[in-house]
Homo-oligomer: A and B are copies of this chain.
Amino acid sequence: MHADRAYEELIRRMREETLLASCEALLEWDEETYMPPGGVENRSEQLALIAGLLHDRGSDPRLGELLAAVEGSDLLADPLSPAAVNVRELRREYDREVRLPRKLVEQVARTTALAQKAWARARADSDFTAFAPWLQKIVELKRAEAECVGYADEPYDALLEDHEPGMTTRNLSRLFNALRKELVGLSERIIESGRGPRRWPRRTFPINRQRSFGETMATAVGFDPARGRFDLGVHPCCTGIGPGDCRIILRFDPADLAQGLLTILHEVGHAFYEQGLDPAHYGTPMGEAASVGMDEAQARLWENRVGRSRGFWAHFFPQARERFPQALRGVSVEEFYFAINQVRPTLIRVNADEVTYNLHTLVRFELERALLAEDLKPADLPEAWNAAYHRYLGIEPKNDREGCLQDGHWADGLIGYFPTYTLGDVFGAQLFTQAEKELGELDRHFERGDFRELTKWLGRKVYQQGARHPSARLIEVITGSPPDHRPLVRMLKAKYSALYDL
C-alpha cells in the first residue's frame, strides 16, 4: 500500500471517529441540560452503543495495516509535521484500543451512565452507602481497564495516560508533593494572619441577571456566541460539539456573584481552546487539545490569572455595579477584589479559593490512586476522605454530601482525571508568566478591557499547535522549562503576601 493513500484513508477514518464522538458529546450535553428523568435508561444504552462503535473503529485491524504502511515512510520524515503528529497519536490510541475488549468498553459506558444518576440521588440524600456498590463496580472496571492496557509501575499510570499522555504517576507525585508543601504553608500563614476582607451584608444577585451579565462579560473577553451557547445545569462544563458549536453549562448561586462569574471565565477558558483550534485539522490530533491538563490550564488561567486579577475588576466592576446597584451598594472595587480572593479552608472543591483549591484535588489524587491499587476499599472511602481533609485543610465534613459525594467524576468513570486540574494550574501559571515576559504586564491590558493580546498569544502558542507536542513538552517549547510548580507558587505568594500583608 502506498503511504500517501494509506495516510488519506487514516485521516478519513479519524474524521469519522471524531464525528461519531461528537454525537456522543451531544448526548452527554443533553443529559446534563434537558433530558427528562425518564430518558436515563435509554441514554445509557445510546452511550454504550456509541462507545462500542468507537471502540470497534478505534481497534479495527485495518488501522493497524494503515499505520504500518505509513510508519517509516518519507511522509513522516519531519516528526513535527501534521502527518507525523497525527500518526504518532493515532498509533498511541490504537495500541490502547486494541488492548480493550469491546465488552468492557460498553460496560464502562453503560455503568457510568447509570452510576451518575445513582450518585446524584446518593448525594441528595447524603448517603454514601447507596453509592458504594456503584463505586466498587466502577473501580473494578477501571482496574480491569488498566490491566488490559498495561502500565510500568502501578495501575494508575494506565488511566492517567488516557488524559495526560506521557505523564507518569511517579513524576506527578513528585511535582504534587512539592506543590502541596508550599500550599499548605501559604494557606496556614494566611489563616494565621487573622486578616481578611470586610464582610458586607448578605445580598441577593438574581440568577437571570447574573447570567446575562456573565454572558456579556464572556462575549467582551472574546467568546463567540454565534459559535456556541450557554445553558444552565447542575455541573458547569464546556463541551465542544464540533467546529462552530461549543457549549457551556453554567450554575449560579443567588447569594454568590463571584462564584458564578468565575465559573463562566473557567469554562470560557476551555471554550477559547476549543474555538481556537485549527478547523482545517478538525477530526485529527493536530486539531485537538494537547491533553486534558493543557485544556484545564486554559480554564484555570482565565479563572484565576484573569478573573481574580485586579485589572480585570478595574474594568468590569463598574459594569457589575450598574447591573447590581442594590447588592453592590457601598462596595468598593478594592473590597470586591479582596472578597473574591479570600483564602480559607472550605469543604467543597468547586467553591474553593485558588490557594486551597489544589489541596482538594490532591486529596482526590491520593485516594483514587489508593482505591485503584486496592490499598483502600471503596466502602472505607468516607473515613479516608475525612482524614485527608483533616490532614491538609484542617477541617472535616459533617456528612458525605459535603464530603466524598461532592464530585461526580468517579461516578462518571473519571479516575486519573483530578490531577489534570492541578497540572492545569501549574501549566497555566507557567504560560501566564511567559506571556507577561513577551507582552508586558497583563493586568494593564485587562484594566483597559484588552484581552485580545492574551488570546492571540495563547492562540499562536497553544491552540493552533493542537497535539503537536505532548503537554509537558509543549510547556517546555513555550516557556523553556519542563512542568514546574514554582511559577504558580511565586505568583500566589506575591499576590497573597500583598493582600494579606504577610
**30 A–B contacts from the bound complex (CB under 8 Å):** A19-B45, A19-B46, A19-B49, A20-B49, A23-B49, A26-B27, A26-B30, A26-B46, A30-B30, A34-B229, A35-B245, A36-B225, A36-B244, A36-B245, A37-B226, A37-B244, A38-B226, A38-B228, A38-B243, A38-B245, A39-B227, A39-B242, A39-B244, A40-B244, A41-B243, A41-B244, A42-B241, A42-B243, A43-B245, A45-B242
Chain A, residues 214-227, CB within 8 Å of chain B (1/0): the string is: 00000000001111
Which listed residue, B46, B241, B242, touches A242 by the CB 8 Å rule? Answer: B46
A342 to chain B, nearest CB (A): 36
A50 at the interface (CB under 8 A from B): yes
A259 at the interface (CB under 8 A from B): no
Q: Which residues of B contact A20 (CB under 8 A)?
A: 49
Residue on B nearest A52 in the bound complex, by CB? B16
A102 to chain B, nearest CB (A): 13
A231 at the interface (CB under 8 A from B): yes
Would A242 and B37 count as touching, CB distance under 8 A? no
A22 at the interface (CB under 8 A from B): yes
Alpha-carbon gap, A338 to B202, bound state (A) = 55
Would A224 and B38 count as touching, CB distance under 8 A? yes
Residue numbers of A with Cβ under 8 A of B are: 16, 19-20, 22-23, 26-27, 30, 34-43, 45-46, 49-50, 53, 224-229, 231, 241-245, 247
Extra inter-chain contacts (13) besides given A30-B30, A42-B241, A46-B242, CB under 8 Å: A19-B42, A20-B49, A23-B23, A23-B27, A26-B26, A34-B229, A36-B227, A36-B229, A37-B226, A38-B224, A38-B228, A42-B242, A42-B244
Alpha-carbon gap, A38 to B271, bound state (A) = 14
Would A39 and B241 count as touching, CB distance under 8 A? yes
Contact A46 to B22, CB < 8 A, known contacts A39-B245, A244-B40, A244-B41 = yes
Alpha-carbon gap, A231 to B33, bound state (A) = 12
Q: Which residues of B contact A225 (CB under 8 A)?
A: 36
Which listed residue, B30, B40, B245, touches A42 by the CB 8 Å rule? Answer: B245
A242 to chain B, nearest CB (A): 3
Alpha-carbon gap, A27 to B20, bound state (A) = 12
Would A49 and B16 count as touching, CB distance under 8 A? yes
Contact A34 to B231, CB < 8 A, known contacts A22-B46, A46-B23, A50-B23 = yes
Q: Which residues of B contact A36 (CB under 8 A)?
A: 225-229, 244-245, 247
A271 to chain B, nearest CB (A): 12
Q: Which residues of B contact A39 (CB under 8 A)?
A: 227, 241-242, 244-245
Alpha-carbon gap, A40 to B226, bound state (A) = 11
A357 to chain B, nearest CB (A): 31
Q: Which of A36, A37, A243 has the most CB of B within 10 A?
A: A36
Residue on B nearest A240 in the bound complex, by CB? B42
A325 to chain B, nearest CB (A): 26
Alpha-carbon gap, A16 to B56, bound state (A) = 14
Alpha-carbon gap, A22 to B227, bound state (A) = 25
Alpha-carbon gap, A225 to B36, bound state (A) = 8
A380 to chain B, nearest CB (A): 36
A269 to chain B, nearest CB (A): 19
Q: Which residues of B contact A247 (CB under 8 A)?
A: 36
Contact A38 to B231, CB < 8 A, known contacts A26-B26, A26-B30, A46-B19 = no
Q: Which of A39, A41, A226 has the most CB of B within 10 A?
A: A39
Alpha-carbon gap, A33 to B111, bound state (A) = 29
Residue on B nearest A228 in the bound complex, by CB? B36
Residue on B nearest A29 in the bound complex, by CB? B30
Q: Which residues of B contact A43 (CB under 8 A)?
A: 242, 245
Alpha-carbon gap, A26 to B27, bound state (A) = 8
Q: Which residues of B contact A16 (CB under 8 A)?
A: 49
A152 to chain B, nearest CB (A): 37
A250 to chain B, nearest CB (A): 14
Alpha-carbon gap, A225 to B26, bound state (A) = 22
Alpha-carbon gap, A224 to B34, bound state (A) = 15
